[in-house]
Amino acid sequence: MPSLEYHCQESMRLFGEPYEEVHRWLDEFAGSERYGFRHRKVRHHEAGIAEVCRLFGQEAGKAAKQHIISDLKTEGWTPGDSFPKNEDDYVRIGFF
C-alpha cells in the first residue's frame, strides 16, 4: 500500500503540490476498527473524487484520481480495467 509520503511525492511531481489533505482524507479510515485495510471502498472511486472536488477544489480531484489509481494498481488493477464508480461498484469489481 503506497504511503502518505509516496502519494504526496507523486502529487508534487505530477501536479506541483503535495495535496496532503486530499490523501489524508482519502485514507481517513485506513486501519480503523470498522474497515482495517479494506478502507478503500469508502472513498476510492469516482464518487470519492467528486467529493474531493467539492471539498478541496477541481485541481485536487486530479491528485485524488492518481492516488486511487496508484492504490488500485497494488491490487492488480490495470488502466484497461473498469474504474470504480462508487462503493458498491468497488465491491462488485472485486477489490473488497
CB-CB contact of 83 with 73 (8 Å) = no
Q: Residue 59 has which C-alpha cell?
A: 485541481
Which pLDDT tens digit goes with each residue over 10-38?
Answer: 999 999 999 999 999 999 999 898 887 78
Number of domains in the chain: 1
Helical residues (DSSP H) of 2-84, grouped into ranges: 4-15, 20-26, 40-43, 46-56, 58-73
Average pLDDT over residues 40-47: 94
Domain with 38, as residue range(s), is 4-93
Check pLDDT > 90 for residue 39. Answer: no
Buried b (16+ CB within 10 A) or exposed e, 53-90: eeebeeebbbbbbbbbeebbeeeebeeeeebbeebebb
